[in-house]
Structure 1
Amino acid sequence: MLQLRRLFLAFALSLVSLVPAGAMPLLLVDRDTLEVLYAQEAGQPWHPASLTKLMTAYVAFEEIAKGTVTLDTPVRLSKNALAQAPSRSGLKVDTSVSLEDALYILIVKSANDMAVAIAETIGGNEAAFVAKMNDVARRMGLSVTHFVNPHGLHDPRQVSSARDLAVLSLYIEQTFPQYMPMFRTSTVKVGNLVLESQNKLLTSFAGATGMKTGYVCASGLNLVANVDRNGRRLLAVVLGGSSGRDRNERAAELLLKGLSGEVRPTGQTVLALGNAAGAAPVDMRPNICGKDAGDYVKAQEAAYPMGLKGQPSYLTDTIAQLQHVAVDLGRIRAGIVLPRPRPAHTPAFPVQAMAENTAASDVALRPGLDVADDPSIPFPRPRPVFR
């Protein structure tokens, strides 16, 4: 039996060597000084998956600041929005929620339908909103980042890097700190629906304050995680995890090494980190969703068993869940012609003239008739008094 285990371990490690070059980018940054504490392939182009929604949220925050929308602006789920692949909000077509609630659902549930609904509300259509995303990326200096959709469902042209995602996350916190509770929230309740975050650090790692998870086959499992503990404020980025356990444990390990001083400043800031401009993004699909994916995951488990049954874990704390309650505003149909507004009413008689006439109420009932000079015109009989 022992020999079989050794053979399996050797086989597993040989599979690990088949991981594409540049796999598992890792980055640890001090959020106060922007110093890099640890970096591994941080500039390697990578598919961001739902980490894309960090930029979707940033664009929304920026538009709120500009006054083009408010947190109360209704966001309607169109048929186009609901046509997106899961993860989805669970709400029905034409349902509306406030932009504030839409952002909570976007960030916590990572709902792809809500990403499109926000894009349509703010940009008028997805393409116009994505143009705003890319404009922000240019202004932030995210040199390998390019977006083609607001949700992160796979498109080979949708690319970022650990370095760029860290810079984006830092911009969110520094520019719009008032929205950081959205990233710390672990559940959103909408009616009978309870939408949960996949960021397990929020409920099992003391001091965790967000930010976002992501996953498509081509990216593996991604995570940007913040922690505030003992006066230290750190940010970790993990890309290409083979499972949620793998991603979460590696992020927690990075953060703990930073908090303990095991890793120290490298003398370089995250802004000075270089990107591998022009390099192709790594495609993790064969390892994550291909026919040999099971073998790859087993190999990764053998190489990094933290958190597996019977193994130690870095995620051992119990943190109370922070929940946001969203309100379903009901269904709003688009394309329905509404009644034309009433024209402004112009009184038939000047108000002053009516006030001076003791029979003003009669005049109002019979416009154009001089009731005072024609007593033959009958008046409405008074209502009888019922006893």
Structure 2
Amino acid sequence: MAAMRGGFRFNSRVAPPVHLGRILFAALLVVPLLLGTARANPMLLVDMRSGEILAAEDAGQPWHPASLTKLMTAYVAFAAIRQGRLSLDTPIRISQNAWNQAPSKSGLEVGSSITLRDGLYLLIVKSANDVAVAISEAVAGSEKAFVAEMNQIAAAMGLTATNFVNPHGLHNKAQVTSARDLAVLTLYIRRDYPEYLPLFATEAVMLGTAKMESQNGLLTSFLGTTGMKTGYVCASGLNIVATNERNGRSLLAVVLGASSARERNEMTAELFLKAEAGQVRGTGQSIVAYANASGVAPRDMRPLICGKDSKEYVAAREKAFPYGLKGQPSFLTDTVTGPVHVATDLGRIRTIPWPRPRPVYAPTTVAGGVSLR
């Protein structure tokens, strides 16, 4: 039976959630942000209480998620914990496959173990690719099986622009999502697993003497920021999903393809401030009803971000959007001290069965959606 929560219609019988993408997808409504500068890349601003899109630009455009992929990696791990397949105290091991991943990495050696709890902090805060693989192997027995679960849950959520190839977000041309899908995924995390929200608001992780800080600059410079994740590869540009709760507003912003961390963070803060000031008044459309673009290839930002045209492109973006540059005004003027999580390297634990046995994964189709329990 469906239930209304915070303005969203969910099927309360299933967790992970039901397929939302089959309702109200009759039209694609693109609402220009009109924030004073030309916007070439996807942006989205959502009222998290009502689900209303306050502003959107190319939010259904397929895009490479980079490390925003780890939002789904975390969701699948949360679901596995709830299902009893493992616990926050379960040791996870850095296999050779995990250790082989390209940076960003945790610095853990092959064979080292950490608890899943610490692994989740390293996954989200440090954005550690080796830990993403270690979590996937611990949850599903193999990276491949875990990715299959990621895609099944994405389909159940109605993320029609989304396809995962790996659990970390290192570039693969087939790893695709959209701003719309990332917003829906974030809302599901907040609805289904609110107990883990402090994880996304954590500023840094200590592992031994190493302090690994979040790349989400809003956590330390914009009051009310509660998460969620940043990501970057050359093909995607600099991405962010951010949530903010202050002055009576509960807001979610997605900015994809920025030319720098400065631009990404300042644009996100500007969106929040515009909403607080009433300068973006909403579209009347639910995020659930926003249609992804079909038959469109993901945009490749590599030539502009890392290629021969990058210097000229970044200079043009700085001219068009100078906020936060030296001598220019900034939207990020607060000083916030966020929580720091202390993780522990458990060393080599030889008694961990590998891969860990788990229940057969057999989703059951139910009326109105898909149950993954």
Q: Do the structures match in fold with TM over 0.5?
A: yes
- Choose from 306, 322, 326 the match for 1:305: 322
Q: C-alpha distance in 2, partners of 1:79/1:259?
A: 48
Q: Does 1:34 align with 2:51?
A: yes
CA pair 22-201 structure 1, distance change in 2 beyond 3 A:
closer
Q: Does 1:222 align with 2:277?
A: no
Match of 2:100 in 1: 83
Describe how 1:237-386 pairs up with structure 2 within 5 A: 237-333=254-350
Match of 1:118 in 2: 135
- Choose from 187, 196, 199 the match for 1:182: 199
Structure 2 counterpart of 1:176, which letter?
A: Y
- Choose from 77, 92, 95 the match for 1:60: 77
Q: C-alpha distance in 1, partners of 2:119/2:128?
A: 9
Structure 1 counterpart of 2:225, which letter?
A: A
The alignment yields a C-alpha RMSD, in angstroms, of 1.6
Q: Does structure 1 retain, via aligned residues, the 8 Å contact 2:201–2:338? A: no
1:331: how far off? 1.5
Q: C-alpha distance in 2, partners of 1:105/1:28?
A: 27
Q: Does 1:167 align with 2:212?
A: no
1:169: how far off? 0.3
Structure 2 counterpart of 1:304, which letter?
A: F
Q: Does structure 2 retain, via aligned residues, the 8 Å contact 1:23–1:282? A: no
Q: C-alpha distance in 1, partners of 2:334/2:215?
A: 16
Identity score, percent: 64
1:90: how far off? 1.2
Instruction: Identify unmatched segments of 5+ residues in structure 2.
Output: 1-37, 355-373
What TM-score, normalized by structure 1, do the two folds share?
A: 0.80
Q: Does 1:140 align with 2:157?
A: yes
Structure 2 counterpart of 1:264, which letter?
A: R
Q: Does structure 1 retain, via aligned residues, the 8 Å contact 2:91–2:352? A: no
1:86 aligned counterpart, secondary structure: coil
Instruction: Identify unmatched segments of 5+ residues in structure 1.
Output: 1-20, 338-387
Match of 2:19 in 1: none
1:96 aligned counterpart, secondary structure: strand
Q: C-alpha distance in 2, partners of 1:236/1:221?
A: 14
- Of residues 188-197 and 147-156 in structure 1, the stretch that sits farther from structure 2 once superposed is 188-197
Q: C-alpha distance in 2, partners of 1:133/1:22?
A: 31
Q: C-alpha distance in 2, partners of 1:315/1:228?
A: 15
Q: Does structure 1 retain, via aligned residues, the 8 Å contact 2:124–2:200? A: yes
**Which protein has the bigger helix share?**
1
Q: C-alpha distance in 2, partners of 1:271/1:22?
A: 23
1:335: how far off? 9.9
CA pair 233-335 structure 1, distance change in 2 beyond 3 A:
closer
Structure 1 counterpart of 2:248, which letter?
A: G
Match of 1:71 in 2: 88
Structure 2 counterpart of 1:33, which letter?
A: S
1:218: how far off? 0.2
Q: Does structure 2 retain, via aligned residues, the 8 Å contact 1:147–1:158? A: yes
1:219-240 C-alpha deviation (Å, 9 max, x unpaired) = 0000000000012100000000
Match of 2:174 in 1: 157
Q: Does 1:99 align with 2:143?
A: no
CA pair 334-24 structure 1, distance change in 2 beyond 3 A:
farther
CA pair 298-333 structure 1, distance change in 2 beyond 3 A:
farther
Q: Does structure 2 retain, via aligned residues, the 8 Å contact 1:22–1:44? A: no
- Larger radius of gyration, structure 1 or 2? 1
CA pair 230-73 structure 1, distance change in 2 beyond 3 A:
same
1:147-195 C-alpha deviation (Å, 9 max, x unpaired) = 0000000000000000000000000001000000000001001111111
2:184 aligned counterpart, secondary structure: helix
1:332: how far off? 2.9
Q: C-alpha distance in 2, partners of 1:136/1:41?
A: 24
- Choose from 237, 243, 248 the match for 1:231: 248
Q: C-alpha distance in 2, partners of 1:150/1:43?
A: 22
2:347 aligned counterpart, secondary structure: coil
Q: Does structure 1 retain, via aligned residues, the 8 Å contact 2:64–2:173? A: yes
Q: Does structure 2 retain, via aligned residues, the 8 Å contact 1:130–1:147? A: yes
